[in-house]
Chain A
Amino acid sequence: MDIVEELLKGNRLALSRAITAIENEYDEALDIMKKLYPHTGHAFVLGITGPPGAGKSTLTDKLARAYRAQGKTVGIIAIDPTSPFTGGAILGDRIRMNGLTMDEGVFIRSMGTRGSLGGLSHKTADAVKAMDAFGKDIIFVETVGVGQSEVDIVKAADTTMVVLIPGMGDDIQAIKAGILEIGDVFTINKADHDGADKLVREMNMMLDLDGMMTDWRPPIQKVIASQNEGITETIENIEKHFKYISENGILTKRRTERSKNEMMDVLQSSIGSHITKKLIDSGLMDKYVEQIKARETDPYTVVGGIMKDMLK
């Protein structure tokens, strides 16, 4: 099967295989991405993040249905943490979106973080591009907002939605500080639980303190995703934000930034893996490590030497 040709024709298995090639860093992934790249840049990318248990998948499910009702096609990339001990993962988001499986206009892909340093955001961005080239109008990227790499992924979206729930106690304090700056749109899910109004007040207060760096004030919407309440309003908020960034040149700026990041990511990972391979193949890796361990030299000197060799 010619993956690129089939993918562009709308073959779902080809899309699926393309994402696998990206995830597993198969050699052909590079070639696939090169060929798909001209066909990208059309989809709207929505990042969804928030703490575990916030109901992100259920919310994604409802938002996807609403977009489908508007006749738009949807791609969903749902990311779950990989166990650092076993390398395995339970990818548990799909189960909350089972009702979408038989809709041909929706494609859901679960991914594990696989413990890759920074590589995850790069891979996710490529998976988004594969779905974009496939012709999806809207692509959701859903991830637990706890680590830096997750935040990086979400930053790559056109619009980022942060989902919170009432009653999370102290956990929320730590989370709130980190996510305030990345949220374009806030959603308070499970708004029928105690403390929803209090959370909205707190959020508003923190946004006030934030000093309004731009004239976009992130809206805060109360939602009960499981009962489909507040979904229409949430979509309106997302659209308002998209309109705002389109009209103010922010979208262009974000996409330029993203192009730069893409290039730098590819550059860094190519150089990194190139040098690593060379060090291992030549046996220098073990030698250097031993020397550093024995304090005969230090990492800075070693890398300095490597760079000198490289740039000759």
Chain B
Amino acid sequence: MEKRIRVLVAKPGLDGHDRGAKVVARALRDAGFEVIYTGLRQTPEQIAEAALQEDVNVVAMSILSGAHPHLFPKVVNLVREKGMNDVLIIGGGVIPETDIPALKEAGIAEVFTPGTPTSDIVEFIKANVK
């Protein structure tokens, strides 16, 4: 068997700050994952459909514009609607601590804020991926 963890790294919304997303994508690659990076300005619908076609185990999103309360839950709903109930969905970016409970409530498994080492993200995925 040749199973690999597959991760979709996605930038929903309009912000163009992809330093974090790209660094994470490379770190995940170096951790032995297969990484599909969507590029900028993806709608929640595009992200969910790409997750389906690629049959990923993880959707990792990054937003720095403050649009996360709107966009993160929308992606979760769309992914679940497609019947992908076991996909781990995580988020990162400039996200105030006070927003995190609501995001977790909405189905975001973990939120990584600025300063998080990429190794934490790798460990989290390894521990929680189904």
Q: Are A and B genuine complex partners?
A: yes
- CB pair B55–A83 under 8 Å, yes or no, is no
- Using known A-B contacts A24-B3, A114-B4, determine if residue A16 contacts B52 with beta carbons closer than 8 Å: yes
B51 CB → nearest A CB, Å: 9
A86-B31, A90-B26 as given contacts; A16 in contact with B54, CB under 8 Å: yes
State A23–B57 Cα separation when bound (angstroms).
14
Q: B4 contacts which chain A residues (CB < 8 A)?
A: 24, 87-88, 112, 114
Given A17-B55, A101-B46, A102-B49: A23 and B2 interface contact (C-beta under 8 Å): yes
B45 to chain A, nearest CB (A): 6
CB-defined contacts of A108 to chain B, threshold 8 Å:
53-54
Cα–Cα distance between A109 and B54 once the two chains are bound (Å): 5
Comparing A92-100, A149-157, A179-187, the segment that makes contact with chain B is A92-100
Known A13-B52, A16-B55; judge A91-B34 contact (CB<8 A): yes
Cross-chain contact B82 with A25 (CB below 8 angstroms): no
Residue B84 lies at the interface, judged by CB distance under 8 Å to chain A: yes
Chain A: interface residue total (CB-CB under 8 A): 33
A98 touches B33 (CB 8 A): no
> A83 to chain B: which residues have CB within 8 Å?
29-30
A89 interface neighbour in B29, B38, B45, Cβ under 8 Å: B29
A30 vs chain B, min Cβ distance (A): 13
Q: Is A221 interfacial (CB-CB < 8 Å)?
A: no
A110 to B46 alpha-carbon distance, docked (Å): 16
- CB contacts (< 8 Å) of B54 on chain A: these are 16, 91, 94, 108-110
In whole angstroms, how far apart are the Cα atoms of A101 and B42 in the complex?
Answer: 10
Report the number of A-B residue pairs with Cβ-Cβ less than 8 Å: 87
How far, in whole Å, are A150 and B5 apart by their CA atoms in the complex? Answer: 23
The answer to whether A101 and B28 have CB atoms under 8 Å apart is no
The answer to whether A114 and B33 have CB atoms under 8 Å apart is: no
Q: Are B28 and A92 in contact (CB under 8 A)?
A: no
Is A176 in contact with chain B by the CB < 8 A criterion?
Answer: no
A88 contacts B46, C-beta separation under 8 Å: no
Interface: A244 (CB within 8 A): no
A88 touches B37 (CB 8 A): no
- CB of A12 within 8 A of CB of B34, answer no
Docked Cα-Cα span, A23 to B2, in Å, equals 7
> Could you pull out 21 A-B pairs where Cβ atoms are within 8 angstroms?
A13-B55, A13-B84, A16-B54, A20-B55, A23-B2, A24-B4, A25-B2, A82-B34, A88-B29, A88-B31, A88-B33, A89-B29, A89-B35, A90-B25, A94-B36, A94-B50, A94-B54, A98-B46, A101-B49, A108-B53, A109-B53
In the A-B complex, the 10 residue pairs with the smallest Cβ-Cβ separation, listed nearest first, are A88-B29, A16-B55, A87-B32, A95-B39, A24-B3, A20-B55, A88-B32, A91-B36, A101-B46, A112-B34
Contacts from B to A (Cβ < 8 Å): 1-4, 25-26, 28-39, 42, 45-46, 49-50, 52-55, 82-84
Q: A88-B33, A94-B50, A108-B53 are in contact. List 8 more A-B contacts (CB 8 A).
A: A24-B2, A88-B4, A88-B35, A90-B29, A98-B42, A98-B46, A101-B46, A114-B4
